[in-house]
A and B are shown apart, each in its own frame.
Chain A
Amino acid sequence: MSKILIVDDDPDFIDATRILLEHEGHQVKYVTGGKNGYETVKDIDPDLVILDVMMESILEGVSVSRKMHKNPDTSAIPIVMVSSIAQTDYAALFPTDEYIYIDAYLNKPVDPTMLVKKVRRILA
């Protein structure tokens, strides 16, 4: 059983992902919004983070992943980034000139089986 943290601002995405990951036997914690997200990552030291891109600000998730990468205590925690910004104008705002420190990226709506596969692969 792994400890997984969901950082997202949509309660239904959190709920659906929690149900799915608990079904897989994981311990799931969640937090709404990126500001609390990074603090919670430091506090609970999860085995994996499911991280939304667009929360209070447009690229808040990217900012959380940067902070996690810079901190030696959190830099090794794998991140699955999720977002619904693909095929919207926001996609153009996604940085293309820097490396984003994530282990997988999934478009919302996230296919449950796909998410389970990614999580299994990363935690293996």
Chain B
Amino acid sequence: MTSSTVGSVDADDEEAQAVDIELAEIFRRYKDRWVAIAVTKRDKNMQPARGTVIADDADRYRLRQKLISTKEACIFFAGEPQYPLLL
């Protein structure tokens, strides 16, 4: 296992990455990871509702490395900050 896949989803889930799933399910499956998806369905406000996971990683910069050849991607963190957030 390379450092870029530490904590990554296992092989079964990698197969599932090609599957079109609901956003809430993506949040559940990839909890506390940075995720890039190809959006397959949007709600009435044009927000992503379903998608296919392109890549995921614990580190957002490593995730971007995986997206170099990807022209369109939707990126988000599937979790909440560990501590109260101040910006």
Say if A and B assemble together. no
A residues sitting closer than 8 Å to B (CB atoms) are none
